[in-house]
Amino acid sequence: MGNKQTIFTAQQLDAYQDCTYFTRKEILRLFYRYRDLAPQLVPLDYTNHPDVKLPYELIGSMPELKDNPFRQRIAEVFSEDGQGNMTLNDFLDMFSVLSEMAPRDLKAYYAFKIYDFNDDDFICKSDLEKTLNKLTRNELTEDEVRMVCEKVIDEADLDNDGRLSLEDFQHMIVRAPDFLRYRNSDT
């Protein structure tokens, strides 16, 4: 693990531990993961908060995200600039939320943001279609897609405005038996 003190100060590490669901070791491991993506960009000294961002191309190529149909969305949601370019903080944030220690509510909140492709704070039909096509790699026919989307809205849309708000989404998702199990990602 090298000399820890040169990367983070003890306070920084403690703060990160308080702010994420990781232990000190995991944070350092994550840092190395982050750094390994672009060793020439990321300095080994984070004590003075250097302003480093890794482009989405690098983030999206991580094995954890590489095969994820929503990788672009995930990166966009967790990155500060909304473009998928991540600072170390964003990076830790992302893994913290995706880790299995994170509570349902938090996950549900971010899940909503991830599925809300057009950032309008509602999951509307086009979002659903996008989600479905990403999930099935466009293997469903248009009729099937339409039917599934209609069913989803019919099931989960409590206020009948034809789209899912955060409350609808949470109401639906926290009851899902698979939700916690499937949205895990460990480092």
Partner 1 sequence: MPRKRDVDEVEVEIDEDSDSDDGRSKRKPNRRQGAGRGGGGARGRGRGRGKKQDSDDEEEEAQRGRGRGANKRKPAKKKGGSDDDDESEDEAPKKKKGGAAKKKKGGKAQDSDDDDSDDDKQKKGKKGGKKGGKDEDNGKGKKGDAKGKDKGKDKDDDKKKKKKKGDSSDDDDSDDEEEEESMSEGEMARLMEEVEEKKKLIANIRTKPWRMQRRLVVLKEAQEFVDKFEGALGKGKGRKWYAYKVMMMKKWIKFQRDFENFRTACIPWERKIKEVESHFGSSVASYFIFLRWMYGMNLVLFGLTFGLVVIPEVLMGLPYGSIPRKTVPRAEQDTAQDYSVLMDFNGYCKYSVLFYGYYNDQRTVGLLKFRLPLSYLMVGIGSFGYSLMLVIRTMAKNADVGGGDGEEGEFTFAWKMFTSWDYLIGNSETADNKYASITTSFKESIVDEQENQKDENIHLRRFLRVLANFLITCSLGGSGYLIYFVVKRSQEFANRTDLSWYEKNELEIIMSLLGLVCPPLFETIAELEDYHPRIALKWQLGRIFALFLGNLYTFLFALFDEVNTKLEEEESIKNASIWALKEYYANYSRMFNDTDTTPPPMNPADVIRGPCWETAVGIEFVKLTVSDIQVSYLTILIMDFARAVIVRFLNYCWCWDLEAGFPSYGEFDISGNVLGLVFNQGMIWMGAFYAPGLVGINVLRLLSSMYYQCWAVMATNVPHERVFKASKSNNFYMGLLLLILFLSLLPVVYTIMSLPPSFDCGPFSGKNKMYDVVMETIDLDLPAFMGTLFSYAANPGLIIPAVLLMVLAIYYLNSTSEAYQNSNMELKKKMQMARDEEKNRRNNKDSTNQVLKDLEDLLPNRSLAPPAPPEPEKAADERPTKTKPGSAGKGVNLQKDVALASPNPNALGPVNRQPGPRGPGAGGGRGRGRGAPPR
What residue ranges bind partner 1 (CB under 8 A)?
15, 18-21, 23, 63-64, 66-70, 80-82, 89-90, 92-93, 96, 98, 100-103, 105-106, 109-111, 115, 119, 121, 128, 131-132, 135-137, 139-140, 144, 147-148, 151-152, 155-156, 158-161, 165-167, 169, 172-173, 175-179, 182-186
Q: Do residues 74 and 114 lie in contact, with contact meaning Cβ atoms separated by under 8 Å?
A: yes
Task: Considering the complex, state which of residue 40 and residue 143 has its C-beta at the smaller distance from partner 1.
Answer: 143
When computed from its CA atoms, the radius of gyration of the chain, rounded to whole angstroms, is: 18
Question: 162 by DSSP, 3-state: which?
Answer: coil
Shortest distance, position 49 Cβ to partner 1, whole Å: 9
SS3 sequence of 16-63: HHHHCCCCHHHHHHHHHHHHHHCCCCCCCCCCCCCCCCECHHHHCCCH
Contacts (Cβ under 8 Å, ≥6 apart) of 163: 122, 123, 124, 125, 153, 157
Task: Provide, rounded to whole angstroms, the least separation between the CB of residue 175 and partner 1.
Answer: 3
Least spacing, CB of residue 43 vs partner 1, in Å = 18
What minimum distance in Å lies between the beta carbon of 171 and partner 1?
Answer: 9
Q: How far is the CB of 95 from partner 1 (least distance, A)?
A: 11
Nearer to partner 1, 40 or 110 (CB): 110
> In this complex, which beta carbon is closest to partner 1, that of residue 3 or of residue 160?
160
- In the complex with partner 1, the residue whose CB is nearer, 39 or 162, is 162
What tokens appear for 1 in the block? 């693990």
**CA–CA gap between residue 40 and residue 92 (Å, rounded):** 20
